[in-house]
Amino acid sequence: MNPLNEINGKTNTSTKKRTNLTAQENRVFNFFSATQLDWEDWRWQMRNRIKTLEILERLIKLTPNEREGVEGCGKKLAMSIPPYFASLMDPEDPSCPIRMQCVPQKSEFEKFPEEMADPCGEDSHSPVHGLVHRYPDRVLLLVNEMCAMYCRYCTRSRMVGEGKRTLSRETYEAAFEYIRTHKKIRDVLISGGDPLMLSDRLLEYVIKTVKAIPHVEFVRIGTRVPVTLPQRITSELVTMLKKYSPLWMSIHFTHSKEITKRVKFACDLLADSGIPLGSQTVLLKGINDKPEVMKKLMHNLLKIRVKPYYIYQCDPIFGSRHFRTPVSAGIEIMEQLRGYTSGYAVPTYVIDGPGGGGKIPISPNYVVSHEGNQYVLRNYAGKQYIYHDPA
């Protein structure tokens, strides 16, 4: 039996209502007159992404704030929601964590003094187009400018969006040449946009070329596609990726609601092919800024073999005020994780130093005082211990 039938529900042809699914899953599926085969075809999902107010308002009950956001977002960062991801939205509740990530709000058009167009200073650390070289031994290779779904808090909203799908051959070649001539680069992080939007063939060309450079020890892929479009993780794709082991993958997860059976199926395919999976999570107000919500996400990630890697403070990109929390919210989350749950469930909380400082780890302070060779430490529960350095 095909496990995907179990996940997507079996179509009862007489009523078109599939079994074991939520009302919203059935509503979206039926709205698009999808067949089981369509739904599982990532290109069908891409063709049918929800991009207009007209379609969105037939699937969820919009608030005036969202309506204005959808009407005005085109000039800034396009709306794009694959039917699969839309089927996870709560049609009634505007505070649904899935909905808040993908449906624009009018707050996006507000700008505050601390906000920037390029908060991580990537453009100023870019020696050639498509490449960011910030750390001595590794580079970020941005292979395209397109994603399946545009996260409303995207730190790269200056460059992502519809239009330029991939970069030109010359741009790729210049980036490869830069890596070839900089022998200290041992780790290449392929990101974008979303690299899993490329065809298998083009993605393989990029990975193969980079891996053929003698000093490159491994590559990794940074993607959100296993969450927003898990149908893209096909057996053909993983068969290709498997050839380039060691290849690591960082997946952008935000909330437990994203961890569906369908997403687990995609992550199983990846993990079973020997691809180590890590998560990257942006700390977002009203979505995952409560310690209990974040802890549950970390636990659910471990259950699908994804190791929590980073929690990012939301970058001060233009129009992100409604998503940003104080730093204290992140520290409190870390305080509530360490010691209270498996060490494997504890990621590193970082702030990308505005203007190009790179990732700076932020942690609760466990050193109470330090004098001479003596440290006064506290543990997760607040009890104090004294440690002596060797004399």
Ligand X SMILES: *Cc1c(COP(=O)(O)O)cnc(C)c1O
- Given the residues 18, 152, 156, 257, select the one marked as catalytic: 156
Contact partner at residue 98 from ligand SF4, ligand X, none, CB < 5 to 8 Å by partner kind = none
194 is catalytic: no
Task: Provide, rounded to whole angstroms, the least separation between the CB of residue 147 and ligand X.
Answer: 17
162: DSSP letter:
S
50, 100, 103, 160: residue in contact with ligand SF4 (rule CB under 6 A)? 160
Contact partner at residue 154 from ligand SF4, ligand X, none, CB < 5 to 8 Å by partner kind = ligand SF4
151 is catalytic: yes
E-only strand ranges, the chain: 11-12, 17-18, 131-135, 138-142, 187-191, 218-223, 247-252, 277-283, 306-313, 348-353, 358-361, 367-371, 374-378, 384-388
Contact partner at residue 102 from ligand SF4, ligand X, none, CB < 5 to 8 Å by partner kind = none
Half-sphere exposure at residue 93, Cβ-oriented, CA atoms within 13 angstroms: 10
49, 99, 224, 232: residue in contact with ligand SF4 (rule CB under 6 A)? 224
Contact set with ligand X (CB under 6 A): 132, 134-135, 138, 140, 189, 359
Is residue 194 a contact residue for ligand SF4 (CB under 6 A)? yes
Task: Provide, rounded to whole angstroms, the least separation between the CB of residue 134 and ligand X.
Answer: 4
315 is catalytic: yes
Name the nearest CA neighbour of 292 among 258, 327, 326, 341: 341
The rounded distance, in Å, linking the Cα atoms of 31 and 55 is 9
Buried b (16+ CB within 10 A) or exposed e, 189-201: bbbbbbbbbbeee
Kindly tell me the number of DSSP H helices and DSSP E strands found in the chain.
15, 14
96, 143, 154, 179: residue in contact with ligand SF4 (rule CB under 6 A)? 154
- Whether the bond between 246 and the residue before it is cis, its omega within 30 degrees of 0, is yes
180 is catalytic: no
CB nearer to ligand X: give 134 or 252. Answer: 134
Task: Provide, rounded to whole angstroms, the least separation between the CB of residue 154 and ligand X.
Answer: 14
352 is catalytic: yes
> Residue 32 in 3-state DSSP?
coil
- Judge contact between 127 and 175, C-beta under 8 A: no
359 is catalytic: yes
- Judge contact between 83 and 34, C-beta under 8 A: yes
135 is catalytic: yes
- Given the residues 73, 96, 120, 151, select the one marked as catalytic: 151
156 is catalytic: yes
Interface ranges with ligand SF4 (CB under 6 A):
147, 150-151, 154, 156, 160, 193-194, 224, 252
Catalytic residues: 134-135, 138, 147, 151, 154, 156, 315, 352, 359
